Copies of this chain bind each other. A is one copy, B any other.
Amino acid sequence: MVTASICTIGDEILIGQIVDTNSSKISIALNSIGVKVNEMTSTSDNENEIVRTLERCLEKTDIVIVTGGLGPTKDDITKKTLGKLSGAKEFVKNQEQYEIIERLLTARGVEMSDLNIAQSYVPDSCKVILNECGTAPCMLFEFGAEKYGHNALLFSLPGVPFEAEAALPKVLKIIQEHYKMENIFHKTICTFGIPESTLAKTIEEWEDNLPDNLHLAYLPNPTLGVRLRLSIYGVDKEQGERELEEESRKLEAIIGDAIYGVGEDSLQAAIGRMLKSKGATISTAESCTGGSIASLLTSVPGASQYFYGGIISYDNSVKINTLGVKRETIEMFGAVSEECVKEMASGVKKLMGTDYSIATSGVAGPDGGTPVNPVGTVWIAISGPDFLLTKRLQFHASRKLNIERFTSNALNFMRVKLQNDLNCNR
């Protein structure tokens, strides 16, 4: 199996100023083509440290991916250090990267400085992988077996996350060609609403009967639910896709309701797709979630096609005056009640003239809990052309996590209902 190490360079990671998100993105990408990551390391902007770390990683693994330390200022020494490590004789100008730098700076209205020009120079021992989104070129260094006991590839990528991410497809292609790697195809199935351990039990029999060349990984996430990644090895594209399709169909027969999409999907995107396919619209009435549901719904590009708007009715006066919740309802049942959340959902749907609506009222904490409605309680209502459904849930987390869970569960409640309705009409 081809192995890799990932090294990040930069004091800002070591002092905890920024969290390293590059390594996990790179690791996911490497895993997706069947490369195993054996180590992740962060080192400071210090030449000896960098050399020691890189030599250790080059000895240990086939591939080393380095991010960071490519900025124009003098504390960024990765390029110089890699030049030495690889025995470069001189630094040469890369004309194509030079032109990219010029274009980027012109677009920003900045004049090219000596430091920027210096960024287009690279050690003559490397191959340049153009960085289309930034000024620092990506570099590939190849080491023969005489140096580290085996052939090794070292990639140097920028530390800026979106620049590093943009370079990954090119890096993967080079690795796949270099190592003539076995085919591997993936399909990620997104589920929500079944806890990981229950899900594992529910699909145990299906999992046990998977073909030997098909692997399953659980990727749990508090807001995205549990995603199931199926990987198939050593087959051609057509067969791979057919087998992945077949297994996902079997899975759907077992946990259909819980599946909301594939790949990088989200509950809000799934809701958006279904609303668009119906030509329907939606609105929100939020108390305890304070705008989080609307904020997620509108995070999807094109949400204005189906999301009309929402009311955040934090104060009871807004529930009464704007949403039209009856004063007696709140006096009799309280704001955190099935009755109130029903009137909120109906109220906003009528007010904004939408086909569907979602409403929440609960206690996020840390204060405000009562014996009937302790911190972590939420009432959710969803409403549509011919239904008004409610649900009460109880969580036990911090204010922040409670709000996140109220929000994702409210979205999922609507998602399941829309999905079931669509399936019935098929």
Please tell me if the beta carbons of B19 and A37 are within 8 angstroms of each other in the complex: no
Please tell me if the beta carbons of A37 and B14 are within 8 angstroms of each other in the complex: yes
* Known A39-B42, A301-B365, A308-B314; 10 more pairs at CB < 8 Å: A13-B40, A16-B27, A17-B24, A17-B217, A18-B24, A19-B19, A19-B21, A20-B20, A38-B44, A291-B310
Query: A352 is contacted by which of B18, B24, B315 (Cβ under 8 Å)?
Result: B315
Could you show 11 A-B contacts with beta carbons less than 8 Å apart?
A40-B41, A286-B291, A290-B294, A290-B307, A291-B292, A291-B295, A294-B312, A298-B312, A301-B399, A304-B368, A322-B352
Is A261 interfacial (CB 8 A cutoff)? no
Is A175 interfacial (CB 8 A cutoff)? no
Is A135 interfacial (CB 8 A cutoff)? no
Assembly CA distance A144 to B280 (angstroms): 70
Is A293 interfacial (CB 8 A cutoff)? yes
B interface footprint on A295-312 (CB within 8 Å = 1, 0 otherwise):
101110111100111111
Is A85 interfacial (CB 8 A cutoff)? no
Number of copies: 2
Please tell me if the beta carbons of A291 and B304 are within 8 angstroms of each other in the complex: no
Assembly CA distance A15 to B26 (angstroms): 9
Please tell me if the beta carbons of A41 and B41 are within 8 angstroms of each other in the complex: yes
Assembly CA distance A18 to B42 (angstroms): 17
If A312-B309, A352-B322 touch, whether A24 touches B31 (CB-CB below 8 Å) is no
Cβ-closest chain B residue relative to A220: B17
If A39-B41, A293-B291, A367-B301 touch, whether A312 touches B314 (CB-CB below 8 Å) is no
Please tell me if the beta carbons of A17 and B219 are within 8 angstroms of each other in the complex: yes
Cβ-closest chain B residue relative to A318: B309
Is A392 interfacial (CB 8 A cutoff)? no
A368: chain B residues at CB < 8 Å are 304
Is A400 interfacial (CB 8 A cutoff)? yes
Please tell me if the beta carbons of A19 and B15 are within 8 angstroms of each other in the complex: no
Please tell me if the beta carbons of A367 and B294 are within 8 angstroms of each other in the complex: no
Please tell me if the beta carbons of B302 and A367 are within 8 angstroms of each other in the complex: yes
The distance from the CB of A92 to the nearest CB of chain B, in whole angstroms, is 30
Cβ-closest chain B residue relative to A351: B322
Please tell me if the beta carbons of A49 and B43 are within 8 angstroms of each other in the complex: no
Which A residues between 316 and 374 are near B, CB-CB below 8 angstroms?
A: 317-318, 321-322, 351-353, 365-368
Please tell me if the beta carbons of A24 and B28 are within 8 angstroms of each other in the complex: no
A23: chain B residues at CB < 8 Å are 16, 20, 42
Is A284 interfacial (CB 8 A cutoff)? yes
